[in-house]
């Protein structure tokens, strides 16, 4: 007698066109997930998908509520449910102190990093409440900056601190529906955003100097996300911190 095989789990990955999002999506596909790839650049999303029959490419700007609703509707139409959301889309924002940043730049950073994450989480929670069986897991991509900021990163740092509040609120409010939420804070994984702040060539330190900092492969960061996603529903992984060995995080400054 053949035992029916469980349906593949369904994940939504935002910011899937590059960096951590791309690697997480590829590892999830390799692990048997069905994965919706969301991001603003369709060509890059298709590169991530690499022709996989289990990948669904959905161009989406997470700052636009209609785009977010269309993303989750496409996933429901394709696969009927959402088991995991990796809330990953984000920008580093301008290099500036609080007295220097323009309101336009502040609002743009908050719109992607915080409001976009809220919109995606809201759509995911609505889906997870309505589906059968009920429940799911949300993983928010925070940052080491959710714990300790770099100099001149006020907008980015504030949004990542706020992400922690979003994570805890979702975890609390989701308890009665089988919805868990955790946050992964990654430090110095080798992605393009690290090049923008000069980690490999000299990142600005608290004393005003610049220092070449260690980095670690993005595949290893993605494995940590996959671990969180693949935990049984009986377990909630609230917080994971993964950094390059030796980076100036403990004892910054």
Q: If we measure between CA atoms, which residue out of 20, 1, 12, 28 comes closest to residue 191?
A: 20
DSSP 139: E
DSSP 150: P
Catalytic residue among 72, 86, 92, 156, which?
A: 156
Residue 209, token pair as written in the block: 């100097």
Catalytic residue status for 156: yes
CA angle, residues 93, 244, 203, in degrees to nearest 5: 45
- β 179-187/136-141 pair status: parallel
Contacts of 14 (CB under 8 A, 6+ apart): 21, 38, 39, 60, 62, 85, 86, 87, 88, 89, 116, 120
152 Rama sector, left if φ>0, alpha if ψ -120 to 50, beta otherwise: left
Q: What separation, in Å, do the N-terminal and C-terminal C-alpha atoms of the chain show?
A: 64
Q: If we measure between CA atoms, which residue out of 41, 16, 62, 17 comes closest to residue 159?
A: 62
Residues serving a catalytic function are: 156
């Amino acid at each position: 007698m053949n035992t029916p095989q469980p349906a593949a789990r369904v994940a939504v990955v935002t910011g899937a066109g590059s960096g951590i999002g791309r690697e997480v999506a590829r590892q999830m596909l390799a692990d048997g997930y069905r994965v919706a790839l969301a991001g603003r650049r369709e060509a890059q999303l298709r590169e991530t998908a690499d022709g996989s029959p289990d990948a669904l490419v959905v161009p989406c700007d997470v700052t636009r509520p209609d785009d977010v609703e269309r993303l989750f509707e496409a996933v429901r139409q394709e696969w009927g449910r959402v088991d995991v959301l990796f809330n990953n889309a984000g920008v580093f924002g301008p290099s500036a102190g609080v007295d220097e940043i323009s309101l336009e730049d502040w609002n743009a950073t908050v719109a992607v990093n915080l409001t976009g994450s809220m919109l995606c989480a809201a759509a995911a929670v609505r889906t997870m409440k309505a589906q059968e069986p009920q429940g799911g897991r949300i993983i928010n991509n925070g940052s080491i900056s959710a714990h300790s900021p770099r100099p001149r990163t006020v907008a980015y740092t504030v949004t990542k601190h706020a992400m922690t509040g979003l994570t805890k609120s979702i975890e609390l409010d989701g308890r009665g529906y089988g919805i868990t939420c955790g946050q992964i804070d990654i430090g110095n994984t080798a992605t393009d955003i690290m090049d923008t702040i000069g980690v490999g060539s000299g990142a600005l330190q608290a004393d005003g100097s610049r220092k070449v900092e260690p980095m670690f492969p993005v595949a290893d960061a993605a494995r940590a996300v996959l671990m969180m996603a693949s935990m049984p529903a009986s377990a909630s992984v609230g917080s994971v911190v993964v950094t390059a060995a030796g980076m100036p995080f403990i004892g910054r400054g």
